[in-house]
Amino acid sequence: MQTSLKISAADMAATHRERFYSMFDLEGADNAIVVMRGGSVEHRYDTDFELPFRQESRFWYLTGVSEPDYSAIFVPKTGECHLFAPKREASYAVWNGRIRSQEDIQALYKPDALHYSDAMQSVIDELAPDRIFTGAEGDLAALGVGAPEGCEIDHRSVIDILTLCRLYKTEGELERLRFANKANCDAHHAVLRSVRPDAWEYQMKGVLEGTLMQRGLQFPAYNGIYASGTNSAILHYVVNNQQMGDGELFLIDSGYEFEGYGADLTRTWPVNGVFSDVQREMYSIVLEMQKRTIAATRPGVKMEDLHFLACRTLLEGLLEGGYVKGSVEDLMAQNIFALFFPHGLGHFLGLDVHDPGGYPKGVDRIDRPGVRFLRSRRELESGMVITIEPGFYMIPALLGPAFDDPTQSSFLNRSKLEPLLDFGGIRIEDNLVLNDSDMGHENMTSLVKEIDEIEAIMKDAKGVRG
């Protein structure tokens, strides 16, 4: 697929290595090296069926290598990158296509030194390290190499350093994230125009995947959710095999990767193209939750503060509608919000849909209903990329016990809530880049979410279908 990316994968990886090296504390280990193993092709259980290969994220971050069976040695003191390519037998070309020459590999990935994999032990011996950092315990054994006598082995520090590196996106990463968001927004728009009564959830998955495949995005960033009716209240519903009914809601939470960087988008639409009164009411509450939290998203804010803002906004809306009773303060104190919004507001996004780094060392989860599932308690800074995804759900497994609980039930208007137990759920999710602008962020997600816009598009699509 032709794109207008300004920064190649190899140049982006070189920038990442510079950041990586700058974070090492080499005191007492001047000759330290880092040994990392890339991913390999995996198979379906006990068969020869190859699963689609997707590179291990940390290795991809530092090398830009998207192929299997590569490994690398990084030398923080000198800034060198030694890349080790698999030496393919001639038969490989018969089954898998042309074998890359060393010249091709060098031009593509631009390492400081290129070797075949069987040379790794000799390179380690030549470097004579006094400490070896690895990407994971067992990497040295898996690569068939050993450490020099007396050499210290560290299996953890690299992961901590890379987690910190990956929190702050480089320009090359932002290019790819923006491209992924644009392509995924277009695909979600195609699904919006396809939603109708009696269609099947998996058909909507087919529309999204087909649209993205045409644009060259072949890998899902996560297992997509295509949920209608009561399925839309199942937070990680992935069966996607129900026929959509007139009067139901349809929730789509799906995103595909571009060069490893994904989008994570969620929208909720009326299957018949028109929100009912109660659907409109609840959707408006969730949209207000998202608008307020997005407006408050900027460097210096903590994710838990944004989450609590979303919770308060939810309770204000439910109070106004007569679904809950009491004051917002009392409802917050009793965690009533968690009955309707039991997950965290958002998470970091990058090479992984749930990018690492949400909890700095020494920061624990808040042991409180709903809040304990927050994926981050880190203070936001410029360069970070996050999702904002508030929701409202009618989940019988949560509301049933609450109706029977003397304390919680005193805050619930059971006569208004019980008829909605088959309502399903609503979630709206955008992807934001934190920056130093007056707004404090850039919203990469351009997909429509206003009620009037959604209904107008669905009406037009219905007219085209006839």
Please list the active-site residues.
48, 236, 253, 264, 343, 347, 354, 389, 393, 427, 429
Q: How far is CA 360 from CA 167, 380, 389, 457, in A?
A: 11, 12, 22, 43
- Give CA–CA dist 122/74, Å, rounded: 15
Q: Which residues contact 335 (CB under 8 A, 6 or more apart)?
A: 368, 369, 370
Q: Which two tokens stand for residue 204?
A: 């909507």
Q: How far is CA 86 from CA 50, 61, 71, 350, in A?
A: 18, 19, 9, 28
Burial 453-466 (b: 16+ CB within 10 A, else e): ebbebbeebeeeee
CA 409 to chain centre: 36
For the chain, state the CA radius of gyration. 25
Burial group, residue 432, by CB count within 10 angstroms (0-12, 13-18, 19+)? buried
Polymer length in residues for the chain:
466
- Give CA–CA dist 4/7, Å, rounded: 9
Cross-strand bridge partners of residue 324: 412
Q: How far is CA 101 from CA 115, 116, 392, in A?
A: 11, 11, 55
Q: Which residues contact 78 (CB under 8 A, 6 or more apart)?
A: none
- Give CA–CA dist 222/214, Å, rounded: 19
- Give CA–CA dist 215/405, Å, rounded: 52
Cβ distance 220 to 266 under 8 Å? no
Q: Which residues contact 198 (CB under 8 A, 6 or more apart)?
A: 243, 244, 245, 246
Please give the full DSSP string across 271-300, using - where no structure is assigned: TTSS--HHHHHHHHHHHHHHHHHHHT--TT
Q: Which residues contact 327 (CB under 8 A, 6 or more apart)?
A: none
